[in-house]
Structure 1
């Protein structure tokens, strides 16, 4: 069999290399303005998903409550518990600030754009991913600071609910609604150009990888600490990811979820958001002198999860799909 290079995996490696060589353009405040460019890319993805998805399909995804329960319980219960168990033997390896940062990573909500984009690229249940990614962001506004408050044995740390909800509505809900409203005009075109929409999803993932590594390089999170400390965080992040992914797979198989639902559950349940994590950290830990150390674990975990999940999406996308049963509407 003739070997065919995968442009997407090559693009992942190139994005990392590009961020290492030229971090300034893609870092926060750079000339590419990634804080706006990424949001525009997310809005475009959700617009085309709104065009491509029928209302009945979105409703079907919304009603898949067993999948939603698995994803949200994994994100906000299983993740923090596993984080505490992993941190217990690492007390002698990590400083208190780094341990707090690692737990902060475990308490964060799931990603939005990349979870949906990866689910679509892997031919998973996109409506389920859309619903869970949105729900996770909203729940995280309350549960993330609650978990951190319990860990610090303090209270009173709050988040500006209005700004968070407004951001979600502006860049996710409104584009999805706009796509639904224009579906009668653009639905047939979207059906004929699925490959283009798929490439758009993957292109956005590459953008997220590039900007994530740009911030890492710009903020010097890879230097200034002992190599052993960075190695412990890296190993802990990999271990955390695979424990969660393996557990979600087991639960999905035990509950006999279809493959498409399992893909959505794995991507939504195993991923943590950097885009919401940074502003959350600046509010929860306002004035903390070691906020850079607190952010270090999520800065390492975020690009790591994108690389692993992108490879999984590429693998699952090549599977043979069973013919879907006919339904009457």
Structure 2
């Protein structure tokens, strides 16, 4: 029997099955699978293994005849003692022969490595983990920005790309040596490569108290589709909401601070501003005020006079935005207040969708 359409020959050239099979086998790659799991703070589960100095996501080689998804579920059970269905892909990475440092004797041919979404685990799921003795020394949940110091560089790139794909909600992404072939704004700016702003401060829905200094006035600024404006620092990928620090010209009017700062750093115009509450920050003996508002327009992206930089401006759901911060347990209470204010502004709740970069002037 013969086969036509050999990969490296004209379609009219016939090849015998044996030759065709040998040709395809010569181009064979390894197949691997891994699972990205986070806790409710957005930290990533890594394994400490006995056979490598660096940390790994749960996962491993795909067995002969096994699908990557079934391999991922098997590895979770073998390595962590957890039975879980794995149904959602985040990324497929083509790892080139030069993309991973391996001993020459291994003759690494390259690999197709699938990254699946293991979801957000609560305390009960985490407590149920039973690491495999002799192979897994233990597990830990780490900040995304810490991945490059704990993992091999290619593993860290892949994990961060997969996490951005999960936050973006755009479906699985194709990677080459850990980098997406079609980068989103989250990839381009490099969100989560530096430490997230840590706001583990109690949320208070009441009036701002007398005494403590007001250090910050931020807003959850809603577009008509229910998403909010988020600003991304171009040099670090750090995220912030529109708003900023009070100045003497604001005359201690926190809403005036918000309006001025939103214009200066984002060329954003706000309407229907509603007070949400404040965060008490004992570390700096100050409070941080939070508002909700309707976003009515954006002008050309300005240079922020406070930093000298031009932010990337995106629309994201409030839930996506929270993943870009380390808000800790109090974040849930603030999010509830945000959605209550959104409903009072007669703005619909946005479902998960890819973030949108806003580079041109926009009016709603």
> Normalising by the residue count of structure 2, what TM-score does the alignment of the two structures yield?
0.21
Q: Which has the higher Rg, Structure 1 or Structure 2?
A: 2
> Normalising by the residue count of structure 1, what TM-score does the alignment of the two structures yield?
0.22
- Structure with the largest fraction of strand: 2
Question: Relative contact order, CA 8 A, sep 6+: which one is greater?
Answer: 1
